[in-house]
Amino acid sequence: MIEIASPDEMYELGKSIGAQLRIGDLVLLNGPLGAGKTLLTQGIGAALGIEGITSPTFVISRVHRGTITLIHMDAYRLLDSENPSLSLDDLDLDTERESAITVVEWGGAAARLSEERLEITIDRELEVRKVSAVGIGARWKEFSL
């Protein structure tokens, strides 16, 4: 676990993580509202040559083209929906996921998308964030924050 004291540090952490990602990777981000999930994703995007990443809360998923395509998804509305017709399966992520990096905010339900994934949790206590990462599967054996 590491402590992040500023938005700039969260962005830089995202860049560091992004530099370690490769096509087909799935990254799940969990943490409360305002924890810095989108800012971390912006840093990941910067490492891939992508700018202009915004929260996909209302559109659920955005595809950004860079040196590697980044699929940025926010599952919050899917998890908190009273509409049973909204489902992760409806997004058809498997189709593009194999040729991109996929980052899912509120990613708990997305764990079933891959047996190999990086799960990042951001805890927010006052102004300091505590970020931890757990790699699931052989792909992430050597990963560290």
38-65 per-residue burial string, b: 16 or more CB within 10 A, e: under 16 = bbbbbbbbbbbebeebebbeeebbbebe
pLDDT of residue 62: 83
Has residue 131 been placed in a domain?
yes
pLDDT bucket at 126, cuts 50 / 70 / 90: confident
120 in helix, strand or coil? strand
pLDDT of residue 107: 75
- Average pLDDT value over all residues in the chain: 85
Q: What range does the domain containing 110 cover? A: 2-138
Has residue 144 been placed in a domain?
no
Has residue 124 been placed in a domain?
yes
pLDDT of residue 85: 46
Has residue 145 been placed in a domain?
no
Is the pLDDT confidence value at 44 over 70? yes
Specify which residues 131 forms β-bridges with: 2, 122
Has residue 76 been placed in a domain?
yes
pTM of the model: 0.86
Task: Give dist(CA 4, CA 145) in Å, integer.
Answer: 12
- Reported as a single tens digit per residue, the pLDDT across 63-119 is 888 889 999 988 766 655 555 444 555 555 555 767 899 999 987 767 777 889 999
CATH number for the domain harbouring residue 31: 3.40.50.300
Has residue 67 been placed in a domain?
yes
Has residue 134 been placed in a domain?
yes
Task: Give dist(CA 117, CA 25) in Å, integer.
Answer: 7
Give the percent of the chain with pLDDT over 70.
83
Number of domains in the chain: 1
Has residue 143 been placed in a domain?
no
pLDDT of residue 121: 96
